[in-house]
Amino acid sequence: MTKVHREVQRFAAENYDILLVGHEGHEEVEGTAGEAPDSVQIVDEDESINSVKIKDPNKIIWLSQTTLSVDEAMETVKKLRTKFPTLQNPPSDDICYATQNRQVAIKKVGAVSDLVIVVGSANSSNTVRLVEVALLAGAKAAYRVDYASEIDDSWFEGVESVGVSSGASVPEELVEEVLTYLAVRGYGDVETIQTAEEDIQFSLPKELRKELKSAGEETSNKAKR
């Protein structure tokens, strides 16, 4: 998030109009916009696109809420570019890969699951979006829970397969608790669906590079009776 803040400060200093693609009211979006409130316009719904006003068509750039998926951000950017053909792209990729990968995964899981359970906070826009994507992908039902204890047994009536995923920052142990809950109730045959293996390299301090291994893999799980 700090990188996006720096970009806002830099482009504001260069007198750019900055169109921040994201959900109005989201903590990250409000914080980013607050770095240069006179230069940033938040773009969320179509109505906000229509209300955008710029000073110089040669100095207009879009930035993004980091937890938006690539698909979601680019859909809005496409609409913006129709109105502002000279709209410039950000100098680097600010979109969260974990968010994008989970949305790709949930599409596959939702297409083959009767029920999808997404673990994550109601305050997390990417978690809420995963529930929506699962339903659009074909899941008969999809619910969000913070903990396994929030699962309602009535959800499983007539259900043969259950998909499980989580928000980008959810601790793995919370997902494991949900899988354990499902196993106890007869959904113990777990199949992991891999959709992406990330080769993205980040420049870390020398000390950390010695301790950390560069590896990332986004997965969602499907449990069957």
Note whether 61 and 4 are within 8 A (CB): no
Banded pLDDT at 96 (limits 50, 70, 90): low
Looking at the structure, do residues 58 and 32 belong to the same domain, yes or no? yes
Q: DSSP alpha helices (H): ranges in the chain? A: 2-13, 27-33, 46-50, 70-83, 97-112, 125-137, 172-184, 206-211
Classify residue 217: in a domain, yes or no: no
Query: CA-to-CA distance for 167 and 99, rounded, in angstroms?
Result: 8
User: Which of the following is catalytic: 28, 47, 132, 177?
Assistant: 28
Classify residue 145: in a domain, yes or no: yes
Share of residues in the chain with pLDDT > 70 (%) = 81
- Average pLDDT, stretch 60-70? 84
**Residue pLDDT, tens place only, 172-199:** 999 999 999 999 999 988 888 776 554 4
Classify residue 147: in a domain, yes or no: yes
Looking at the structure, do residues 103 and 155 belong to the same domain, yes or no? yes
Residue 92 has pLDDT above 70, yes or no: no
Domains: count for the chain: 2
Of 83, 113, 138, the position where a domain reaches its end is 83
Q: Which residues contact residue 138 at a Cβ distance below 8 angstroms, ignoring those fewer than 6 apart?
A: 110, 111, 112
Classify residue 135: in a domain, yes or no: yes
Classify residue 155: in a domain, yes or no: yes
Looking at the structure, do residues 75 and 104 belong to the same domain, yes or no? no
Classify residue 212: in a domain, yes or no: no
**24 is known as an active-site residue:** no
Q: State the residue range of the domain holding 63.
A: 1-83
Query: CA-to-CA distance for 30 and 35, rounded, in angstroms?
Result: 9
Looking at the structure, do residues 3 and 79 belong to the same domain, yes or no? yes
pLDDT at 219: 47
Classify residue 68: in a domain, yes or no: yes
Banded pLDDT at 147 (limits 50, 70, 90): very high
Classify residue 207: in a domain, yes or no: no
pLDDT at 199: 42
Looking at the structure, do residues 55 and 101 belong to the same domain, yes or no? no
Note whether 195 and 105 are within 8 A (CB): yes
Banded pLDDT at 204 (limits 50, 70, 90): very low
- Which DSSP category does 90 fall into? P
Query: CA-to-CA distance for 129 and 143, rounded, in angstroms?
Result: 11
Question: What's this model's pTM, rounded to 2 decimal places?
Answer: 0.56
Residue 193: Cβ-neighbour burial (10 angstroms; 0-12, 13-18, 19+): middle
What CATH number does residue 102 fall under? 3.40.1010.20
Looking at the structure, do residues 78 and 108 belong to the same domain, yes or no? no
